[in-house]
Amino acid sequence: MRKIRRGDEVEVISGRNKGQRGKVRINMVDDEKVVVEGVNIVVKHIKRGRARQAGRIEVEAPMPVSKVMLICPNCGARTRVGIRTGENGKNARFCKSCDKTIARPTVD
């Protein structure tokens, strides 16, 4: 089971975006990278095309999942995540700070 999932609220713990928080928009599991809403913004320069003008757009660049930590929805702390078998026999994530099970993030 993955420790960070799409829809999780995370905080950046290192690099130039340190301290920023956002929701995981894309989880690139194979690359061990995540795209976090509003974090790690880069400016892309767009060439003029048939149906659009030249310009610059700001997009969120993927960043290593090792650079973010989960914010526990129960206690609000930036926390380490553990995995354990829940009451239903399935694996569930839990917060190593408050020891509560972390619910599946709601993804819209």
For residues 69 and 72, which CB has a smaller minimum distance to Zn ion in the complex? Answer: 72
CA 30 to chain centre: 15
For Zn ion, the closer CB: 20 or 97: 97
Name the minimum Å distance from CB 41 to Zn ion.
28
Q: How far apart are CA 66 and CA 4, in angstroms?
A: 10
Beta carbon nearer to Zn ion, 24 or 35: 24
Question: Least distance (Å) from Zn ion to the CB of residue 40?
Answer: 25
Which lies closer to Zn ion via its Cβ, residue 44 or residue 96?
A: 96
Nearest to 64 by CA among 31, 90, 99, 96: 31
Distance of closest approach, residue 30 Cβ to Zn ion, in angstroms:
28
CB of 47 to Zn ion, least distance (A): 47
Binding interface with Zn ion (CB under 5 A): 72, 74-75, 95, 97-98
Give 24's contacts (C-beta < 8 A, 6+ positions apart): 4, 5, 6, 7, 8, 9, 10, 34, 35, 36, 37, 68, 105
